[in-house]
Amino acid sequence: MLKDESQQPLVSVIIPTYNRPNYLKQAVASAIKQSYQNIEIIISDNCSTDNTQEIVQSFRDTRIRYWRQPENKGMFANQMHAFKMARGKYVASLHDDDMWNEDFLEKLIPPLEEHPDLILAFCDQYIIDANGVIDYAGTQGNTRSYKRDQLAQGVHQNLAKIGLVDKSIPTAAACVIRNDFVDWDSIPPEVGGMWDIYLTYICCISGHGTYYYPERLTRYRAHEQTDTMQSGSRNAQAKIGKAKNEIFCYKRFMEDSRLKEFKSYFKQKWLEANTTLAIGLMRTKQVAEARSYLWCAINEQKFNLRTIAALTLSFTPQRLANQLLGGAK
């Protein structure tokens, strides 16, 4: 049951954006239309070169706080700047290409109010395409892949397993976090595009629990310009950047004694990231540097077909290696 708006705690909606005005318009509209009305909408514009500011101003909503970076700060710095602007008791990240259902906040805030020891609440999500059409097969696959189909509604305390191993918590897209439980300055820039999983890590080691609401209350847009797509086989530099972020994060998780139960899992992910980084470096003709990461991975795991194949390719003539690497992930 919703409280009167004057009694509702303030929620800060965080929307970082850069050169996606049409998607941004849909994202902001979905925030404004929330049935839970006591919100501030923080839009941090990473120095867009289009009509982003005009789009924001067209809403004429006093709850919007717009900030334009004087220069492009990079995705991570822009995201963190927005979090640090938040004045709400709770914060929720909404990427400029995603959307929320109208009852997203209405359904996730009450469990946090009822359980003041919980650090976050999260839900399931739809997957939509570039045009906003729901991909039902992709949605089902996403739910199963992140094991949200195995989670019961309610309070959960085993955050490390849920958040860092199963990755059930969509921190960047379908999650509400208690603001004063997080030190935003403790998230180092080395995490880059992995800021969401590192934020999950901070929540895990806090000792607080979470609440899961199994309904799909948000819409995650899968399209050509997402970080996930760019860091696949399409963009070598994006692949290199993501792999470096993963190496930093998984090394930190692996070395944290509070997470020793999952050390072997984190080590495996760290090794995979080393190989991924090497493949990206080989695509950009940085073969000698790539080999150092491959030797590191081989020394730690002895036998891994993907790593050995990549190392073998590093000694293959460049033209042939490039052709073979075109299909490597």
For 45, how many CA atoms within 13 A lie in the half-sphere containing its CB? 22
Please determine, for residue 231, whether its predicted confidence score (pLDDT) is greater than 50. no
Tell which wins on pLDDT, 6 or 167.
167
Same domain, 310 and 235: yes
Q: Which of 172, 165, 169 is nearest to 266 (CA)?
A: 165
Local confidence band at 46 (pLDDT 50, 70, 90 cut-offs): very high
Same domain, 283 and 191: no
pLDDT in tens, 260-294: 999 999 999 999 998 899 889 888 888 888 888 88
Q: What is the pLDDT of residue 49?
A: 94
Question: In this structure, what CATH number is given to the domain that contains residue 55?
Answer: 3.90.550.10
Same domain, 60 and 101: yes
Number of domains in the chain: 2
Q: What is the pLDDT of residue 313?
A: 75
Tell which wins on pLDDT, 4 or 110.
110
| Long-range CB contacts for residues 265-274, cutoff 8 Å, separation at least 24 | 265/165, 266/164, 267/300, 268/301, 270/246, 271/297, 271/300, 271/301, 271/304, 271/307, 272/246, 272/306, 273/243, 273/246, 273/247, 274/243, 274/247, 274/307
Residue 2 placed within a domain: no
Give the type of residue at 168. Answer: S
Please determine, for residue 169, whether its predicted confidence score (pLDDT) is greater than 60. yes
pLDDT in tens, 117-162: 999 999 999 999 999 999 999 999 999 999 999 999 999 999 999 9
Residue 226 placed within a domain: no
Mean pLDDT of 168-195: 97
Mean pLDDT across the chain:
90
Local confidence band at 233 (pLDDT 50, 70, 90 cut-offs): very low
Same domain, 246 and 201: no
Q: Which of 137, 102, 114 is nearest to 215 (CA)?
A: 102
Please determine, for residue 55, whether its predicted confidence score (pLDDT) is greater than 70. yes
Q: What is the pLDDT of residue 137?
A: 98
Final residue belonging to a domain, choices 221, 253, 274? 221
Q: What is the pLDDT of residue 282?
A: 82
Query: Are 98 and 83 in contact, with CB atoms under 8 Å apart?
Result: no
Q: What is the pLDDT of residue 115?
A: 98
Please determine, for residue 232, whether its predicted confidence score (pLDDT) is greater than 50. no
Mean pLDDT of 94-111: 98
Final residue belonging to a domain, choices 221, 244, 265? 221
Same domain, 171 and 25: yes
Final residue belonging to a domain, choices 221, 247, 282? 221
For the chain, what percent of residues have pLDDT higher than 70? 90
Please determine, for residue 317, whether its predicted confidence score (pLDDT) is greater than 70. no
Print the domain residue range for 201: 7-221
